[in-house]
Amino acid sequence: MTTKTDFVPPLQAATRYAFFFDVDGTLAAIKPRPDEVSIPAPVLEDLRRLAQRCEGAVALISGRPIDQLDELAAPLVLPMAGVHGAERRNHDGQVTRIALTSATASALNHELTSAMAELPGTTLESKGMAFALHYRQAPQHQQAVEQLAASLADRFPELVQQPGKCVVELKPQGVNKGAAINEFMQQPPFAGRVPVFLGDDLTDEAGFTAVNALDGISIKVGTGTSEAQGHLSDVAAVYRWLEQTRIKLDEDVTTSVRSQGYESLSRRI
């Protein structure tokens, strides 16, 4: 993998795109606590208008559960992949979930609650089918948190570790953002379009790989090496890019309509 410069491949006129966005660190600035995160109203409006131009082919792809994503995106109701794709809502509203057995979920919750309580400042986030071990407020416990996650992944072969920014998650095997994007791309309104995916974290690399394989556009937000083709420096840069992209698509539609109008007039003459 190589370090990317500040560059985003340009969108081509008349190309039908499908847009996928990570949330924390991409559409929303990262905060000390997950419940402090928000998406600004003008950004939600740009997403709404982008979805309108793309016939609904705009989705959120996040480690957060769908219910949290709905709160952040309100009043928008978008297709979503939550918990890295362990749960997914299609454009028609149908929701599918990959769940752990009740015995596994209960055992994990019990052990993690006890172990994390011994690491002051860390936070356990239970997502039902996955668990996030946060240490943003206690970076001195990073090694202990990583060792805890590794030991449980060894004991529960149906789980895999997913490192992120100041967090390690335990999630079901085979669940990742790339798989979620591939599933979306097989269904309307995403099918037949060119995928565009923006993300900022290690959890987004599987999404970048999937989009690259589909000859789409992958965009890394922030610092670090990545498989993404393009790069935006921070969340503010994402907001500028989103607004410019929405304006460009509006202009492309207007130009197309005017061109068709001229052609129709020419035929009548």
Neighbours of 166 (CB within 10 A): 17
Q: How far apart are CA 179 and CA 77, in angstroms?
A: 22
Residue at 83: amino acid letter? V
Neighbours of 200 (CB within 10 A): 27
Per the structure block, which two tokens stand in for 100? 């752990």
β-strand partners of 126? 131
Closest C-alpha to 61, from 242, 236, 197? 197
Looking only at the bridges linking them, the beta strands covering 58-61 and 17-21 are parallel
Out of 6, 22, 35, 154, the active site residue is 22
- Backbone φ and ψ of 90, nearest 5°: -75, 175
Q: How far apart are CA 109 and CA 171, in angstroms?
A: 13
Neighbours of 141 (CB within 10 A): 18
Q: Would you say 228 and 4 are in contact if contact means Cβ atoms under 8 Å apart?
A: yes
Residue 24: active-site member: no
Looking only at the bridges linking them, the beta strands covering 167-172 and 2-3 are unpaired
Q: Would you say 207 and 184 are in contact if contact means Cβ atoms under 8 Å apart?
A: no
Length of the chain, in residues: 269
Active-site residue set: 22
